[in-house]
Chain A
């Protein structure tokens, strides 16, 4: 990876003052489970904007594909009471 692309990644990844910081603040995002890697305790999840990332699921297991989880700093800390089609969860 070139120095430029490292810099670009960081510029994109830097906390957006208008969007809130999901990593270090007390904020979590709702994500939907797409793929489960039960052996490693991880799931590939997708947020509202379609961004995907690996999520630790140890604290909310068992999970199923399509479940809505509340994710903070790469870890699912809770799940949606409304369920995947309830449409009433916080993002």
Chain B
């Protein structure tokens, strides 16, 4: 396939694996976190961890926006979906995330008009086609997705659409990284940085990681050779005693990011004082809401929502998985009570979630290893 074959070349992959082996220090255990769910997915899909030396461990971070959404926010969305004359729109994975009393899919089955969309622009189209009903878009995602919501809101305003509203759950990547680095549970040696978030924010916001915490970070693409090369770059930094931000994905990521996108984000959104993350708790200035200038489009101002904080199910260990403290298969309910067909935790729902990725691609390898 054009564009991607070069980044899936098995021979080059083996050569990179050899270079990685040459750069690791025998006897030292390396723990590297891939922040982004897209990387987790690639690692399992292509078996990248099988190419790494046994003392290089990849742990999975909180970079799947669907996985970190707390139950209370899902309940709030469902409450809005049940309002009369509301068409509730959201991305596909979000439909199946369990709230405290069912998912949006269950709400749809119970009669709520919940529709899946591929983009906020699709939701706006639905609003224009249904001028007598309110259309609410459940906005979720990191800085990769937030510009799309922001542009749609700008478009809604420019076109004078009055029945389009946004329930904003957008989050930012830097505060949870800081929270993870401050967490005593984790001893990480370096980070594989998120590729497409960085397309928007650039690599510059990650400079605090080497500067303040003394850890290397390499922003990486999503093809198997991208991830392997990023791992090699981190290990080489460690071997050479360096510690800096490097950009493996420079073919797409400008170091300064997309300045126009950042301007749009600053215009449409403002930081919440704090936002709850599943497994990580409340993190200061980590979530976005609509700015006062766009308050007319804010679904949370238009509708009364329960706004109740709901504890995660006791059996579910998504929190520890999201922090990289345990591997998916170490969770008590992984693959038994919790499967992609009947998920208990968020990490099993989204294909970017560590549990679902491992369940879909890695569990058989793990079983072989156990035998």
A77 touches B147 (CB 8 A): yes
A17 proximity list for chain B (CB < 8 A): 340, 351, 356, 360
Q: A21-B91, A88-B3 are in contact. Are A77 and B251 (CB under 8 A)?
A: no
Q: A23-B91, A25-B38, A75-B151 are in contact. Are A91 and B351 (CB under 8 A)?
A: no
Q: For the complex, would chain A's binding face be called helix, strand, loop or mixed by DSSP majority?
A: loop
Stretch at the interface among B218-226, B231-239, B299-307: B218-226
**What's the minimum C-beta distance from B258 to chain A, rounded to whole angstroms?**
6
**What's the minimum C-beta distance from A29 to chain B, rounded to whole angstroms?**
10
Segment 11-33 of A: residues with Cβ below 8 Å from B = 13-21, 23-28, 30
Segment 24-81 of B: residues with Cβ below 8 Å from A = 36-38, 41, 45, 63-66
Chain A residue nearest in CB terms to B95? A14
B351 touches A21 (CB 8 A): yes
A19 touches B351 (CB 8 A): yes
Interface presence of A70 (CB below 8 A): yes
Interface presence of A81 (CB below 8 A): yes
B258 proximity list for chain A (CB < 8 A): 59-60, 77-78
**What's the minimum C-beta distance from A33 to chain B, rounded to whole angstroms?**
15
Interface presence of B145 (CB below 8 A): yes
B110 proximity list for chain A (CB < 8 A): none
Q: A27-B222, A30-B3, A90-B4 are in contact. Are A21 and B120 (CB under 8 A)?
A: no
A28 touches B144 (CB 8 A): yes
B121 proximity list for chain A (CB < 8 A): 54, 56, 74-75
Stretch at the interface among B13-21, B189-197, B205-213, B323-331: B189-197
Chain B residue nearest in CB terms to A27? B38
One of B64, B116, B140 near A14 (C-beta < 8 A): B116
B260 touches A59 (CB 8 A): yes
A87 to B221, alpha carbons, bound, how many Å?
15
Interface presence of B2 (CB below 8 A): yes
Interface presence of A73 (CB below 8 A): yes
Segment 1-15 of B: residues with Cβ below 8 Å from A = 1-4, 6-7
B261 proximity list for chain A (CB < 8 A): 59, 77
A74 to B151, alpha carbons, bound, how many Å?
10
A18 to B6, alpha carbons, bound, how many Å?
21
Chain A residue nearest in CB terms to B122? A74
Interface presence of B313 (CB below 8 A): no
A74 touches B148 (CB 8 A): yes
Interface presence of B338 (CB below 8 A): no
Contact digits for A49-89, partner B, Cβ 8 Å, 1 yes 0 no: 00001101011100000000010111101101110000111
B93 touches A80 (CB 8 A): no
Segment 116-150 of B: residues with Cβ below 8 Å from A = 116, 118-122, 140-142, 144-145, 147-148
B333 proximity list for chain A (CB < 8 A): none
A10 proximity list for chain B (CB < 8 A): 116
A20 touches B118 (CB 8 A): no
Interface presence of B352 (CB below 8 A): yes
List the interface of chain B (C-beta within 8 A of A).
1-4, 6-7, 36-38, 41, 45, 63-66, 91-94, 116, 118-122, 140-142, 144-145, 147-148, 151-152, 155, 194-197, 199-200, 221-223, 226, 249-254, 258, 260-261, 264, 340, 350-352, 356, 360-361
Could you show 12 A-B contacts with beta carbons less than 8 Å apart?
A17-B360, A18-B351, A18-B360, A20-B352, A23-B93, A23-B118, A24-B94, A26-B195, A30-B3, A48-B2, A73-B118, A75-B148
List the interface of chain A (C-beta within 8 A of B).
10, 13-21, 23-28, 30, 41, 48, 53-54, 56, 58-60, 70, 72-75, 77-78, 80-82, 87-91
Which 7 A-B pairs give the minimum distances between C-beta atoms? A74-B119, A25-B352, A75-B148, A78-B199, A73-B148, A24-B91, A27-B38
